[in-house]
Amino acid sequence: MSKTIFGFSKRSKSEKIDWIVSTYLPNNKNAKSILLQYWNTDEKLQQLHDEFIENTITNYYLPLGIAPNFLINGITYTIPMAIEESSVVAAASKAAKFWLDRGGFKTEVISTIKIGQVHFKYFGNPETLKAYFTSIKQQLLKDAKPITANMEKRGGGILDIELRDKTIDIDGYYQLHASFETLDAMGANFINSCLEQFAKTFKNEALNFDAFSSDEKHIEIIMSILSNYVPECLVRAEVNCPVEALAENSKLSGSTFAKKFVEAVKIAEIEPYRAVTHNKGIMNGIDAVVLATGNDFRAVEAGVHAYAARHGSYSSLSHAEVKDGIFKFWLEIPLALGTVGGLTGLHPLVKLALEMLGKPNAKELMQIVAVAGLAQNFAALRSLTTTGIQEGHMKMHLMNILNQFEATNSEKQHLVERFKTETVTHSAVVEALEKLRH
């Protein structure tokens, strides 16, 4: 059977499913029923989901959990988290509870500047190009006014436009490097619309600039696009307490725990192999909240990891120290988030998640998300430097193993009780389940 198909997007959802099942899943008798069972019975809601993307055939669910007891700048939050990985929500909740009576989390937004660029080629005199840019800059801003008017009314808009010479890297390559304030919107569509207008004006007006020779009047626009690298859209989250306060519920003294914890962070600061896993733990918390609140976790991931390598070597996003008897643990990360536009106004669960958080503005959401990442990192490092990561993680993973082998409720109850005092490993759980069944 041919796997080539034309006009697929014009087919109904049922026809698309039939084609997928017959072409790629002919030996799976349950394939169609599995796809159909995840359709929402509310037709209006299902249509809303279908129209988020193209060629939808069903819904793909992730669990939505909550992590309570987060004290952030004196306000208590319960944070929604959409994620499939065991122990993430439990770890975040445990860290939140640990810091609840130690002053909680302190946060601040350092800056909220976002970046977009027009990439173009020009092979004439660089000084003439600079003169042209200086002469045309106000026209660039003026021509974008129809796009920026509403944003400016709310206090945002275009902050600046610079001409950047990148010819040392690529022959003839220059940029219009623009900075923006988009307030509570993530702002991708706004930024891209402004950039495309800049490109149009910049190219067309070059034809009328007398200082250009006939050859120099030709400016080749390569592309106009926002950047997901936002090193000036920064938020800071921190916890601190006296060293002796760390001893509670720990198998180590406060000073010993603090020493090991700080050393663990230092290792992540200088060792990329460790830093990647260290930062992945931070992103467990961050991505889960970003996804739950309808934001673009891929953009956040890309920007955060680029920031982690900004000094030329990939390093830890978080830092720790002990000074004058005070333990301090913090991170500063770039987060371009929005609370209006996109899925924030469409997805019913996103609306609920934002309402659960008190309908935060973009700056407030930045702080909440940063705290989720710091909490997750603290919980992971605390486990690593005390009991080891697997003890807690595998206990949370126990139910996944039992479900994999289709354990009954009574079998689950028996084995959950048993493994409260035994080390959870895949082989140990399988062996115990087999013995129970025989």
Residues with catalytic annotation? Answer: 85, 280, 296, 393
Q: How far is CA 80 from CA 65, 194, 239, in A?
A: 6, 34, 21
For 69: left if phi > 0, alpha if psi spans -120 to 50, otherwise beta; the answer is: left
- Could you tell me the two tokens for 122? 């020009």
297 closest CA partner among 281, 309, 283: 283
Our CA angle for 294, 296, 300, nearest 5°, is: 130
Q: How far apart are CA 233 and CA 238, in angstroms?
A: 17
CA of residue 173 relative to chain centroid, distance: 31
Q: Determine contact, residues 191/182, Cβ cutoff 8 Å.
A: yes
Q: How far apart are CA 105 and CA 183, in angstroms?
A: 24
Question: What is 167-211 written as a DSSP string?
Answer: TTTSTTEEEEEEEEE-TTB--HHHHHHHHHHHHHHHHHHGGG-TT
Q: How far is CA 433 from CA 67, 393, 395, 399, in A?
A: 31, 20, 15, 12
395 closest CA partner among 434, 425, 428, 375: 425
Q: How far apart are CA 294 and CA 186, in angstroms?
A: 11
Q: How far apart are CA 288 and CA 369, in angstroms?
A: 9
Q: Determine contact, residues 195/116, Cβ cutoff 8 Å.
A: yes
